[in-house]
Copies of this chain bind each other. A is one copy, B any other.
């Protein structure tokens, strides 16, 4: 059974959800009714599913009782929560790698508690003070993984493998998000990392949107997707319009709906399916009304891009697409 436009699981990210309640309580510590209000807004925007983006609520830091409340809040709002995205907790962070690794394990356990079978991790680290001052943080350089340091690479491989094994034990797919200047910052490096990890349940989250918005020369999006799609097991979709004037050394990138930006999702979704992709799709959008644009993007995918009928040809992915394949 393959997914169709009608039933493909598509989530809304919670990038734009508030971090504090009106009364100034951190959303992490808020009443479940506050969570439910956020889930209801997502549901009202037309989503059946939500991505538990941990820049909003961190499942890893909730007690079992509070995790149950989170799940009930989603259920009460009428949305499923099939995936957690954990960000900026690199397992090779010079200072916090141990805490981040433990956090990763707790996230996986929280996922299991919630009945979640996909977790997205990355190697991006905290935004720098300079990044925090920008309109868009990606317009200045941030943290960089040490590209030629075999020990650091090895640490990334072994620690992510450790998380991957934990996830496999619990029937969970682990997806590693493309992000500039990390070991997941180019298609080639991401593929090599996943190959070095070497687990069937560890794949790539091909968030090429992270790469095409940079104010510098970029990898060709078609080639990047071509390399990583065979390893894709979860997918943050977003898009940017882009202009370049190389002679004058300027680069412009503007958040755009999926349909209008630089990446052709028509083209890459077709290729993804042809190499076996059947994972969850998450609609992210930075800037402005992220939820409305995400909802527009979901409609675009279901009406124009995803296969209308079952029985289409799918290739064989290099990674597991669901728990039964782990």
Let me know if B245 and A256 touch, CB within 8 A: no
Segment at the B interface, from A5-13, A100-108, A132-140, A197-205: A132-140
Known: A242-B254, A252-B252. A259 touches B293 (CB 8 A): yes
Count copies of this chain in the complex: 3
Segment at the B interface, from A118-126, A168-176, A264-272: A264-272
- Taking CB atoms, residues of chain B closer than 8 Å to A267 are 289
Let me know if A243 and B288 touch, CB within 8 A: no
Known: A259-B296, A296-B259, A304-B45. A266 touches B291 (CB 8 A): yes
Give the distance in Å from the alpha carbon of A247 to the alpha carbon of B134 in the complex.
10
Let me know if A140 and B247 touch, CB within 8 A: yes
**Closest B residue to A265 using CB positions:** B289
Q: Is A261 an interface residue (CB 8 A)?
A: yes
Give the distance in Å from the alpha carbon of A245 to the alpha carbon of B140 in the complex.
8
Q: Is A292 an interface residue (CB 8 A)?
A: yes
1/0 per residue, CB under 8 A from B, across A281-307: the answer is 000000111111101100010001100
1/0 per residue, CB under 8 A from B, across A183-197: the answer is 000000000000000
Let me know if A136 and B243 touch, CB within 8 A: yes
Let me know if A139 and B293 touch, CB within 8 A: no
Residues of A within 8 A of B (CB): 16, 45, 134-136, 139-140, 215, 239, 241-257, 259-267, 287-293, 295-296, 300, 304-305
27 A-B pairs (CB sep. < 8 Å): A45-B304, A134-B246, A136-B244, A139-B245, A140-B246, A140-B247, A215-B245, A239-B288, A241-B256, A243-B252, A243-B253, A245-B251, A248-B250, A250-B250, A254-B254, A255-B260, A256-B260, A257-B260, A259-B288, A259-B289, A259-B296, A264-B288, A264-B290, A265-B289, A266-B289, A266-B292, A292-B300
